[in-house]
């Protein structure tokens, strides 16, 4: 029963698009996903990342049943698709689930608004630093100390709300200052405290 809703999604594939009709939500068993929003043809903003145990697609709930964002896997991902009806029914039946979801939304909203303020007022360097610390907090580090998510520069840029090139320069800067170090996509934060001082 459950099995026929279990999806295996390969790396770098978009499993729902901004504007699509809302069919249901996804529960991530394994893998990592970016949730993003387009602007024009070639610009996007990554709104959030989701990993193991997170849900994706819930943002579509509300008046118009349309996904307001797209979701794309960053690595091979397995997820459970939960039909909208089933989900709504579960909510009706399970008070606790609904309450958890409510709290989850509340947290997300706080996050989102902090990000808004950052985009409006924080300079790029701060935003990149903030993004890195965010990623570390969410995904942790590997045993070698690298942030446990392998992200293209472009994705990092889209997350920080800036361009590829600028992200690049900022990253070298931070590296020169001894706050981080990296080889390709693998990034280590050497000094959390001082990295946090870049903003704030």
Partner DNA sequence: CGCAATGTTGAACAAGGTCAACTGTGGTGG
Partner DNA sequence: CCACCACAGTTGACCTTGTTCAACATTGCG
- What residues make contact with a second copy under the rule CB under 8 A? 37, 39-40, 43, 45, 47, 58-63, 68-69, 91-92, 95, 98-99, 101-103, 105-110, 112-117, 119-122, 161
Can you say whether residue 31 is alpha, beta or left, with left for phi > 0 and alpha for psi between -120 and 50 degrees? Answer: left
Choosing among a second copy, DNA, none, which partner's interface includes residue 92 (Cβ < 5 to 8 Å by kind)? a second copy
Residues 55 and 69: their CA atoms lie apart, in Å, by 14
Answer for which of 5, 68, 153, 186 binds DNA (CB under 7 A) is 153
Instruction: Tell me if 13 contacts DNA by CB under 7 A.
Output: no
For residues 32 and 27, give the distance between their C-alpha atoms in angstroms, rounded to a whole number.
Answer: 11
Distance from CA of residue 99 to its chain's centroid? 22
* Contact (CB, 8 A) for 140 and 148: yes
Site string for DNA, 177-196 (x = CB under 7 A): -------xx-----------
Cβ atoms of 77 and 16 within 8 Å: the answer is no
Per CB under 7 A, contacts with DNA among 95-124 are 123-124
Give min distance, CB of 144 to a second copy, in A. 30
The tokens for 98 are 């609904």
Cβ closer to DNA: 4 or 144? 144
Q: 196 CB contacts (<8 Å, ≥6 apart)?
A: 129, 133
Region from 74-82, 137-145, 148-156, 186-194 binding DNA, contact rule CB under 7 A: 148-156
Query: Cα separation of 52 and 36, whole Å?
Result: 18
Among positions 159-178, residues that touch DNA (CB under 7 A) are 161-166, 168-169, 172
For binding to DNA (CB under 7 A), which residues are involved?
A: 123-125, 152-154, 161-166, 168-169, 172, 184-185
């Amino acid at each position: 029963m459950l099995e026929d809703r279990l999806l295996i999604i390969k790396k770098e594939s978009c499993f729902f698009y901004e504007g699509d009709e809302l069919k249901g939500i996804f529960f991530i068993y394994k893998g990592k996903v970016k949730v993003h929003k387009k602007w024009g043809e070639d610009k996007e903003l990554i709104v959030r990342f989701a990993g193991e145990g997170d849900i994706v697609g819930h943002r579509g709930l509300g008046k118009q049943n349309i996904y307001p964002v797209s979701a794309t896997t960053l690595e091979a991902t397995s997820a459970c698709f939960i039909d909208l009806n089933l989900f709504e029914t579960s909510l009706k039946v399970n008070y606790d689930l609904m309450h958890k979801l409510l709290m989850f939304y509340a947290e997300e909203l706080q996050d989102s608004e902090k990000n808004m303020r950052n985009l409006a007022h924080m300079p790029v360097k701060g935003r990149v630093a903030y993004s890195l610390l965010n990623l570390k907090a969410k995904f942790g580090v590997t045993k070698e100390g690298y942030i446990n998510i392998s992200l293209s520069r472009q994705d990092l840029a889209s997350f920080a709300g800036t361009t590829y090139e600028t992200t690049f320069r900022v990253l070298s800067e931070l590296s020169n200052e001894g706050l981080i170090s990296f080889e390709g996509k693998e990034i280590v934060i050497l000094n959390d405290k001082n990295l946090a001082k870049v903003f704030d």
